[in-house]
Amino acid sequence: MRKITIDDLGEMLRQPWLATLATYRKDGTVLLSPVWFEWDGEAFIVSVVGGDGKERHIRTDPRVSLCIAEEETFPGRLIEASGRATLKPDAGAAGIRRIATRYLGPELTDRWIEQYGSFDWQLMRLVPEKVRAIDHRDEGFLRDARAEYLNKDYTQVGS
């Protein structure tokens, strides 16, 4: 395992990996939420719905953490970025459209956003104040590791 910088992650942050966002409830407990994200070279951008738990938590306590790991190649690279998030309205849902297109493609994105047409989309911006990035790929004994779930067909009912 080798500690690296956010710049060493290269193309990893351009991939549509699922991230886990940590926000804080009023009682101090953590809410972990799977989210789509975008890295703009300076900050992580996550779309949240106005009035939902994540948005309320961030307005009450802006401290957040975002964790991303390469899923298909794990043990691979991972990053945990934390800091204080800001929120702003997502005018015309342009941000969620851009982010969702990374994950769904343009045609499916339009259909997906249309079903949530009345949502008050907000954009969370996290400029990392603290970063923990690790690369496991250079571990000799892990070079041949393969994710076992890739060997199973999960499309079959009852698998």
Going along the chain from its start, the domains and CATH numbers come out as 2-139 (2.30.110.10)
What is this structure's pTM?
0.85
pLDDT at residue number 6: 87
Whether 154 shows a pLDDT value over 70: the answer reads: no
- Give the model's confidence band at 50: pLDDT under 50 very low, under 70 low, under 90 confident, else very high: very high
User: Which H or E run includes 99?
Assistant: helix 94-104
Q: pLDDT tens across 68-98, in order? A: 998 665 667 889 999 999 999 999 899 999 9
Structure letter (DSSP) for residue 14: G
CA distances from 83 to 21, 64, 127 (A): 12, 6, 7
Section 10-32 average pLDDT: 93
CA distances from 79 to 6, 14, 27, 45, 141 (A): 8, 13, 27, 15, 21
- Give the model's confidence band at 158: pLDDT under 50 very low, under 70 low, under 90 confident, else very high: low
Section 6-19 average pLDDT: 88
Using alpha carbons, select from 143, 26, 14, 13 the residue that is nearest to residue 67. 13
